[in-house]
Structure formats: structure tokens, C-alpha cells
Amino acid sequence: MEQYVLTFIKDIVRLSAWLLILLTIFIPVERLFPLQRQRVVRKEFFVDLLYYFLNNLLPKALMIAPMALVAWAARHVMPAGFVSYVATLPLWAKFAAAMVVGETGFYWGHRWTHEVPFLWRFHAVHHSAEEMDWLVNTRAHPLDMVFTRLCGFVPLYILGLANPNAGALDTVSLLFVFVSTLWGFFVHANVKWRFGPFEWLLSTPAFHHWHHTYSEPINKNYAAMLPFLDMIFGTHYNPKHEWPARYGTETPVSQNMGDQLLDPVLPSQAEAMRT
């Protein structure tokens, strides 16, 4: 018991340190290059702050069992020669492959959360934010995060790009998680930066803000980092000189965090939380 308490305290300290770093980076950037003039402590800021800690602790614990199962299945399904070949690839090649494979898995997982009504009940929590900034990245139902992360990691495990040993992650996986997480904060940020001709290659706040628009066009820009995936699958929308006028969703979502966590799993909410 004492060991678990110490581990929990260490996790809280680690997350607090990372939060301080993120605050130091994004608050000045959003004040210097704002898209919308809004307060740092905007509506539901503290709710999203709680989500920051919850979603950096709970999903990781919930994913241990399914990831171990996937790792076991991968060892018995994939040819040993193929896995050995992937292991010999240089770090840059494995990382590049992991980005494309993992992001493709995430794209479809994310898209399904919009297209499957049951999954949308959980994902609607993320889209309930009416003001956008970097911290909105953390606003998500933990089960929604588990699903989309599994969609990204399962193909990595199957193809041998992630360590098949349960509970262990290799350098490529750690880099994938670090880069994609940091980029997630960036594309939610309240900044007006654009990348010009490189916007087909890397997502920007403009690209992802259109994913959060309240009005048409909806259900666009599912990719987290690689917009060309949306180009390939027909869901890309990123006008050069326009930004969404309003954020949020027409799906009823409580402002109370407890209700946000419980409502999606209650049968009585099936009709209310619709697509």
C-alpha cells in the first residue's frame, strides 16, 4: 500500500512539474499571439485543470490490461522474421513509421468517436469547450482517451514498432507519445499561427480549431498531427483566411465534471447525447 501511495505522489509531482513548464510556454505565447482576446483563467479552466491530472493518471492504468493482451497477441500473430526486421531499422525510420501508423490508427479511432453514437457520448465532453486554449487538450472523458489511444497503439504493437513486452515502451513509443501529446496542446492553443505551404504536412491551431467549430462544416480534420490523412480520407477543411466563429457542440453536456464523467455511461443519457 505504501508503495502505491509513494508512486501516486511521485506522479503528482511529475505532472505538476510538467504543468508548470506548459504554463510557462503557452500562457506567454497566447498573450503575445492571441487569436481571441480572452482571460487566462477562462470559463471552466479549473475543470480542465482537473482533467489534466485525471487523464494523465487513470487512462494509463486502464490501458495496462488491454495493451498486455495486444502485445501477447502480436507475438503469436506476426511472423518473427518481420518483427526482427522492424527491430533492426534505424531509430529515425522506426519513428517515422510509428508516426504514420499511429496517427492513422488515431485518425480512425477519432473519426469513429464522431460517427458511432455510443462513442460520441464520451467524446462530446471534449467538444463541449466553448473557449479554446492549450488546456482544452486535457478535457476528455478518460474512457474516450483509452479508446483513441488504443486505436493508435494497437497497430504499433502489431507491426512491432512498439515494444511487445507488456508494460514496457521503447524509445520510439516514448517519442511518439511525447511529440503527439505536446502537439495536442499546441493545436488547441489560442494562437493565430499558420504554417503556409507546410499545412498539408503538420496540423496547426487553425486546422484543429475547425474540428471544434459549432457550426458547419462539422466532422472535419480528425488527424492529430498529419493533415494529409484527412486529405486522403476526404475529411480535410482548412481555409486560408478564415477561423471558426464559435466553438462547442449542440449535444447537451453538463458543466459539472462529475456529471461529465457519469452521464455518458448512464442509459438515460443515450437519447440526450446524440450526434
The proportion of the chain whose per-residue pLDDT surpasses 90, expressed as a percent, equals 68
Q: How far apart are alpha carbons 207 and 110 in whole angstroms?
A: 15
Of 52 and 255, the structure prediction assigns the larger pLDDT to 52
3-class SS at 203? coil
Whether 274 is covered by a domain: the verdict is no
Q: What is the dihedral of CA 79, 85, 86, 88, to 10 degrees?
A: 150
For 135, 138, 246, the CA distances from 47, given in Å and listed in that order, are 10, 10, 20
Structural domain of residue 159, as residue ranges? Answer: 2-269
Whether 275 is covered by a domain: the verdict is no
Whether 29 is covered by a domain: the verdict is yes
Non-local CB neighbours of 212 within 8 Å, separated by 6+ positions: 127, 129, 132, 136, 244, 247, 248
Whether 132 is covered by a domain: the verdict is yes
3-class SS at 89? coil
Of 103 and 267, the structure prediction assigns the larger pLDDT to 103
* 75-87 pLDDT tens trace: 778 787 887 888 8
The proportion of the chain whose per-residue pLDDT surpasses 70, expressed as a percent, equals 94
Whether 189 is covered by a domain: the verdict is yes
Query: What is the average per-residue pLDDT within 247-272?
Result: 84
Of 170 and 249, the structure prediction assigns the larger pLDDT to 249
Whether 152 is covered by a domain: the verdict is yes
| Number of domains forming the structure of the chain | 1
Burial string for 72-82 (b: 16+ CB within 10 Å, else e) reads: eebeeebeeee
